[in-house]
Amino acid sequence: MKIPFNIDLNDKVVVVTGGGGVLCGEFSHALAQCGAKIAILDLNKEKAEEVAEEINSLGGRAIGVTADVLNKESIEEARKYVNDMFGKCDILINGAGGNHPKGTTTKEYLFEEDIDSTEDLITFFDLDPKGVEFVFNLNFLGTLLPTQVFSKDMIGKEGCSIINISSMNAFTPLTKIPAYSGAKAAISNFTQWLAVHLSRVGIRVNAIAPGFFLTKQNEALLLNEDGSYTERSEKILSQTPMSRFGKTEELIGTLLWLVDNGASGFVNGTVIPVDGGFSAYSGV
């Protein structure tokens, strides 16, 4: 991939959770091109190793590591392995997250007739507490626990940084996905809290809030079987002034700026939208 500009991350150790996914896989490639040693953590070992192999084949340095971001013991084991292979963590990208069907309503609005409907609907009243709990745990605890483990490596070192992944949902909740919207709002709030809490030990904490990017995770929601846009896609694009979905590489410039202490050393506790103007548009 072609990065928009280069920064010096030589000898820096970067840990990327959810690194086997599309967005964080791109993050890993970009940071490797800047000279960092990349530890790609993912619950799916094959995906983590696949990204690591791609980076290594291009001359970078990367390892794939199995880790469950909801299991502190698993994360501690991953940290020990990363420390043994590369050294202590300098930069943590908390990319693990996602949604769950049981935390999602079928319709955007509730109508009276839905209450006694014989249709296979999930209304607000049918949301499964376990599904909602899964979404909150994966996104919030899946950010908090890796931070507890890896930020210990950063104390007393210069140029250390944590990047969380928030969402447009954190600014204005989207219809149908209350659990995911709430969980991402928690990430934005936690980013600000953590930035203050860690400021005296020299660790900066910021977040990127992507707008709408077409990935494997959401393509079933955004694309019909024939590749055309779904009704939900059309609504999203009608509210996005740039009238298109983002490209994964369009997140890279913001990422590089945030992790480079020379460029953003006084930037702390921010949540940066990368959304084609979605959060700025009132709809009229």
Q: Annotated active-site positions, please?
A: 180
What SS3 string covers 200-267? HHCEEEEEEEECCECCCCCHHHHECCCCCECHHHHHHHHCCCCCCCECHHHHHHHHHHHHCHHHHCCC
How many angstroms separate the Cα of 123 from the Cα of each of 117, 127, 151, 225?
A: 10, 7, 40, 26
Q: Do residues 238 and 194 touch, judged by C-beta distance below 8 A?
A: no
Residue with tokens 């700025």: 280
How many angstroms separate the Cα of 192 from the Cα of each of 50, 136, 163, 173?
A: 33, 18, 11, 19
